[in-house]
Copies of this chain bind each other. A is one copy, B any other.
Amino acid sequence: MARSDTSTRRRLRGRAAERRPEHLTERRAKPPIIELRHATKIFPGGHVALERVSLRVDRGEFVFLVGPTGCGKSTLIKMLIRELAPTEGEVLIAGRDIATISNKKIPQLRRRIGTVFQDFKLLDSRNVYDNVAYALQVIGASRSEIRSKVPDALRLVGLGDKINNFPDQLSGGEQQRLSIARAFVNHPPLLLADEPTGNLDPETSIGIMQLLYRINRTGTTVLVVTHDREMVDKMRRRVIGLADGRVVRDQSAGMYSDDENTTEFGLRLRDEMGLEE
């Protein structure tokens, strides 16, 4: 995976260093990047997927969202990009109630949020390269920008040699990583990942978590839905627990050093999860 690609990693770390002060000092001054106020989602048919959920996620945070199957995690993610509208309550992104955004401006919102969908949502008629490139094309990136960023992103998720495969020529895990690459390629300020490691083996999962951690250290807020309890335990980041559509746990699990760098982080994870590097 990314281990071989030291140049990109150095570049990312450099950025992080530049931005760090701003995001640390101003964090509390700005509105939270995600805020839910008593958000409720009742599906046609009457099923209550979310019930008066209130939560805040600040800029630069790394948050896990956990909970049993069918408890409403994906519904919450979908509400954040307005794929679904809340039946009641408000969803605010960067302080703005997204229900007030006009339909024409919704693409702008979505471009600033990278999303890893649980079912990947790849473009079947495009190959791996073009799938990732599309996320840059929609924001009007230049050809040269696309040519430099896309291969980088693909190398980071370990798909550097699958550039010409179409989605139906990829394994489940490869599709998942493609979806991840597309989500972060345009450096969005907010990254939502719905079970990004469900189809990955533990070693690759750690690589992906390490990547998400590194992205987080560049200032990006990261929200990860996962069932991987071990990973959640070991990463020592904030955990929001849902059950039956309600928030049942929200703990900013302490004792983690904010300045642990990505390599140290990866080593610790591998060590604690009993994987030899």
Q: Which residues in A have some Cβ–Cβ distance to B below 8 Å?
A: 43, 45, 66-70, 73-75, 118-119, 164-165, 169, 171-174, 177, 194-195, 198-205, 227, 229-230
Task: Please name 18 pairs of A and B residues whose Cβ atoms are closer than 8 Å in the assembled complex, sorted by A.
Answer: A45-B164, A67-B201, A68-B201, A68-B204, A69-B173, A69-B174, A69-B177, A69-B201, A70-B173, A70-B174, A73-B171, A74-B172, A118-B199, A119-B172, A172-B194, A198-B198, A199-B227, A202-B227
Closest to A273 in B: B229
Q: Are A169 and B199 in contact (CB under 8 A)?
A: no
A172 touches B68 (CB 8 A): no
Quick one: given A69-B174, A230-B230, are A43 and B169 in contact (CB under 8 Å)? yes
Inter-chain contact A200/B69, CB cutoff 8 Å: yes
Q: What are the residues of chain B within 8 A of A75 when measuring CB–CB? A: 171
Contact assessment for B227 and A201 in the assembled complex, using a CB-CB cutoff below 8 Å: yes
Do A198 and B199 touch across chains, with their CB atoms under 8 A apart? yes
In angstroms, Cα B199 to Cα A194, docked, is: 10
Given contacts A69-B171, A198-B199, A205-B227, 4 further A-B contacts (CB under 8 A): A43-B169, A66-B201, A70-B174, A198-B198
